[in-house]
Structure 1
Amino acid sequence: MPSTPGNANLKIEKVEKLNIGVDVAAIDNRVRLSVDAYQEKTKDLFVSQPLSATTGFGSLAINAGQMSNKGLEFDLKVDVLRQNKFNVTVGMNHAINVNNIDDLGLVNEYFLGTFVIRKGLPYGSHYNPEYLGVDPANGRPIYRTNTGTTNDIAQAGSYADYGTYLPKHVGGLTLDVNYKGFYVNALFSYQFDVVRSNNTRNWTTDGTTGYVSAVNQSRELIGNIWTQPGDQARFPSPRYAKGFTSSDLEDAKFLRFRSLDFGYMIPEIRANGKAIIKNARVYANFQNLAIWSPWTGVDPEDNNNISLVEYPNPKMVVFGVDFKF
């Protein structure tokens, strides 16, 4: 017996793109700028269409959705110093993308885990109850409702006004220095206007008996958990779990020192009028040297809405020598 209905009218999703770009150079080509503006519409997206109970199925996949992306990208490079044996170039690139769910057919929204796909919102918008703190009188968590507040998460509303896990702004900064065969290249990358759920923190700050016995608890709980009436605490009494709420949604913006390369280009080595080594390079490469971010988890950079014990971007060091004969 089939578990889902078939749809002979399904077709491949379509993407319509419009891109306009311009390249500009000035001051004897010392300043170089590329700018691109784009608009992209994805049509005939697959949408789960609710069906009548008389059909024996809950939903049917149809081509009814539309999503748009609009954005601006630019890349700027400036030769700060340009001489025969000494060159310094700095650069910056930045991209802005505005995403929107334009249409979902006969439905206005549906849910994927802890985020909502809703007409008028960007893809990946978090959808959670809003945690407002702790009731000083009884240590129970407080949640927002459409009419006020409640201590019962089952009575609380879920909201989609916290942002999305897909960054609106991404970019990078570069530095390239060359001097008599020596070179240094540095890259910084960043993102902002992005929110992720720190699910690891949700576990480690849940002071209830079940979690305390199974998960190492965070030092955040020391002095911040409700113990007696009148306490102005961040976390509820150990009798109550705050649940999976907005309390663990965190700003995932960052500035990362992505890479640093430096080395020396050894010129041609000759003997008896012949080239023994055409050229050689001695170098060192460092990856993910440092990161600055308000994110309290292991690593804010990941393409999902929930962070749960993911392996972070590793720090790496590579030393090498290249020869060309």
Structure 2
Amino acid sequence: MSDLKLRASYGATGSTAVTPYQTLNQLSSGYTIFGDALNTTYAPSTVLPGRLKWETTNEWDAGVDAGFLNNRLRLTADVYVKKTKNLLNRVTLPSSMGYTTTYQNVGEIQNKGLEIGVESDIFKGPVKWTIAGNISFNRNKVVKLYQHQDIYGGTIYTGSLSDFVNLLREGQPFGVFYGYKENGYTAKGDIQYADLNKDGKITPDDKTYIGNPNPKFTYGLSSVLGYKGFELTVFVQGTQGNDIYDLNMASSLDLGMGLNLTQDQFNHHWTPTNTNAKYPKVSRSLSGNISNRFVENGSYLRFRNIQLAYNLPVSNWRVGWCRSLQLYASGQNLITLTKYSWYDPDINTYGGSKLRTCRG
């Protein structure tokens, strides 16, 4: 061991957590006629204002930095626990109140995890090779909610489906996917949902957890190999164990809209002779729900950057105005290995760039 450092820290920060003015009941403008004149009107909007506090995040961290073999091998590790109290979130109100939503300090969320980073100088000298890797484990949980009530995510509308996909519930990870579980098809080729409460009918009480968007771990690996001015850099990154609710598939599956089908749906839909099909029957009267059909494995491995460079020997040119000069060719996001069926597994609610996807 050539180096050792132990660290510990604790801190608290506050955050407004929402876009400015979103918690206020702003006036909405409109027009109306008084007599023979068109007049501008102002009326309260649909957001009920409330008495709010800032979110407060408290975190403690303990870590170690260590070096081995004259610092040719370097290790960093951190363990942390982070709690956010007075969590700010939009809450849906009964329509009878005259307001549709409000913001409230709804509860408390806990994150705890472990982060490890390792870096090593494999070769030193004419051939230089440095490898660095990191891995991060995080587990979050909704600890407490206002009046122990669930908080539903925003309603998703695809033209065929209209419902919330995720929720906050005490004791569960943040934003778990919530919906129906499918149980094959009916004798007529319609989607059949599992009757979990055994009451003989399908109701919202039959909804359950159908996926978790939080990865079990994230990781990255970089390699820099150099020889006589040439330098090859490779950086890969990925996640493991997270789910994606594929709204692309939900919107493309024809649920009563009479739309065109994808080639895969056309080839593998239910028929009287193909009852164990991937897709239900083709029909304009077909109905559907938010279900586990659209939950996919979101794990992936992506080559974020590959670069080959040559550092020109500027120091031998005896020019004072230039200290370094490099020629390089690089490619970003060239390959993605994943089982996710659409474009990009590294995606958010509002979409992302379309990249080449290799299905594992």
TM-score, length basis structure 1: 0.82
CA contact 1:186–1:261 (8 Å) conserved in 2: yes
Deviation at 1:243, TM superposition (A): 3.7
Tell whether 2:187 aligns with 1:141: no
Count of aligned pairs between the two proteins: 302
The counterpart of 2:119, out of the listed 67, 77, 81, is 77
Distance 1:243 1:56, change over 3 A: closer
In 2: Cα distance, 1:157 partner to 1:108 partner? 18
CA contact 2:211–2:292 (8 Å) conserved in 1: no
- 1:228-267 matches, cutoff 5 A: 228=272, 231-239=275-283, 240-267=286-313
Deviation at 1:43, TM superposition (A): 0.5
Deviation at 1:129, TM superposition (A): 1.3
In 1: Cα distance, 2:115 partner to 2:192 partner? 43
Tell whether 2:174 aligns with 1:123: yes
The counterpart of 2:152, out of the listed 93, 99, 111, is 111
CA contact 1:80–1:88 (8 Å) conserved in 2: yes
SS in 2 for 1:127: strand
Deviation at 1:165, TM superposition (A): 2.0
Give the gaps of 5 or more residues in structure 1.
Answer: 316-325
The counterpart of 2:337, out of the listed 287, 292, 297, is 292
Distance 1:263 1:274, change over 3 A: closer
In 2: Cα distance, 1:207 partner to 1:105 partner? 36
Residue aligning to 1:159? 208
Distance 1:156 1:298, change over 3 A: farther
Residue aligning to 1:323? none
- 1:183-222 matches, cutoff 5 A: 183-206=231-254, 208=256, 210-212=258-260, 217-222=261-266
Structure 2 counterpart of 1:134, which letter? Y
Distance 1:149 1:27, change over 3 A: farther
Residue aligning to 1:13? 55
SS in 1 for 2:251: helix
CA contact 1:225–1:233 (8 Å) conserved in 2: yes
The counterpart of 1:302, out of the listed 342, 347, 359, is 347
SS in 1 for 2:197: coil
What fraction of aligned residue pairs are identical, expressed as a percent? 24
Residue aligning to 1:177? 225
In 2: Cα distance, 1:277 partner to 1:220 partner? 58
SS in 1 for 2:258: helix
Distance 1:75 1:63, change over 3 A: same
Distance 1:140 1:264, change over 3 A: same
Question: Which string of whole-angstrom CA distances, capped at 9 and with x for unpartnered residues, describes residues 83-112 of structure 1?
Answer: x22111112111111111110120331201
Structure 2 counterpart of 1:14, which letter? T
In 1: Cα distance, 2:323 partner to 2:88 partner? 57
CA contact 1:74–1:93 (8 Å) conserved in 2: yes
Distance 1:31 1:144, change over 3 A: same
Deviation at 1:63, TM superposition (A): 2.5
Structure 2 counterpart of 1:194, which letter? N
CA contact 1:192–1:254 (8 Å) conserved in 2: yes
CA contact 1:92–1:171 (8 Å) conserved in 2: yes
Deviation at 1:130, TM superposition (A): 1.3
In 2: Cα distance, 1:131 partner to 1:211 partner? 23
Distance 1:50 1:163, change over 3 A: closer
Distance 1:270 1:229, change over 3 A: closer
In 1: Cα distance, 2:294 partner to 2:91 partner? 32
Residue aligning to 2:140? 99
CA contact 2:343–2:355 (8 Å) conserved in 1: no
SS in 1 for 2:137: strand
Distance 1:231 1:278, change over 3 A: closer
Structure 2 counterpart of 1:74, which letter? I
CA contact 1:49–1:107 (8 Å) conserved in 2: no
CA contact 2:142–2:171 (8 Å) conserved in 1: yes
SS in 2 for 1:106: helix
Deviation at 1:204, TM superposition (A): 2.7
TM-score, length basis structure 2: 0.75
The structure whose RCO (Cα within 8 Å, separation 6+) is larger is 1
SS in 2 for 1:210: coil
Give the gaps of 5 or more residues in structure 2.
Answer: 1-42, 155-164
After TM superposition, the structure 1 stretch with the greater mean CA deviation from structure 2, 185-194 or 46-55, is: 46-55
Structure 1 counterpart of 2:196, which letter? N
In 2: Cα distance, 1:205 partner to 1:188 partner? 33
